[in-house]
């Protein structure tokens, strides 16, 4: 494509809500960590290196009886509080600004678990109730 020589009406959309086809035989709970699997379908957060975190599930999605993409799931990007991992993977206030990693659909950890976990997002705060993660 050539460089512009006149004004362009550039399409835009809010970078908050998205819809993705849900992976086959998958049920996602509202408020859970939402990821895309290696095939590009929405699935829940879990220990895996092939997941891409895309947000939080807005409402319960049930595709347990469907094929890949049979159902569209709504996710929201933003800043969310998740459960903190434990022991050596516990996230502390000194970790703010670093990436954290998916343990399951509601828990994040400080490390990638010896290269077994996918990135959840960026740590923005830590409090007694959990870890605030920007996705």
The residue range of the domain holding 21 is 17-76
pLDDT at 13: 80
> Which three-class secondary structure state does DSSP give residue 32?
coil
Structural domain total, the chain: 2
pLDDT tens figures, 67-88:
999 999 999 999 999 999 998 8
64 and 34, same structural domain?
yes
- Note whether residue 12 is domain-resident: no
71 and 41, same structural domain?
yes
Residue ranges of the chain whose pLDDT lies below 70? none
**How much is the pTM?**
0.89
Task: Give the whole-angstrom CA distance, residue 42 versus residue 24.
Answer: 9
67 and 39, same structural domain?
yes
Q: How many CA atoms, within 13 angstroms, populate the side-chain half-sphere of residue 92? A: 4
pLDDT at 1: 79
- Note whether residue 123 is domain-resident: yes
63 and 48, same structural domain?
yes
94 and 61, same structural domain?
no
122 and 94, same structural domain?
yes
86 and 55, same structural domain?
no
62 and 21, same structural domain?
yes
Using alpha carbons, list the distances in angstroms from residue 132 to 66, 88, 93.
33, 19, 10
Task: Give the whole-angstrom CA distance, residue 12 versus residue 15.
Answer: 9
Residues in the chain: 135
- Note whether residue 34 is domain-resident: yes
């Amino acid at each position: 494509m050539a460089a512009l020589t006149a004004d362009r009406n550039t399409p835009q959309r809010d970078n908050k809500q998205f819809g993705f086809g849900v992976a086959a035989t998958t049920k996602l709970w509202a408020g859970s960590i939402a990821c895309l699997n290696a095939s590009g379908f929405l699935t829940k957060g879990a220990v895996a290196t092939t997941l891409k975190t895309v947000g939080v599930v807005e409402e319960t999605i049930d595709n347990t009886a469907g094929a890949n993409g049979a159902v569209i799931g709504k996710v929201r990007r933003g800043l969310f509080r998740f459960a903190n991992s434990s022991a050596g993977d516990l996230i502390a206030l000194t970790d703010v600004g670093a990436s954290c990693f998916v343990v399951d659909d509601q828990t994040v950890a400080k490390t990638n678990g010896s290269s077994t976990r996918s990135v959840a997002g960026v740590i923005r705060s830590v409090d007694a109730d959990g870890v605030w993660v920007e996705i």
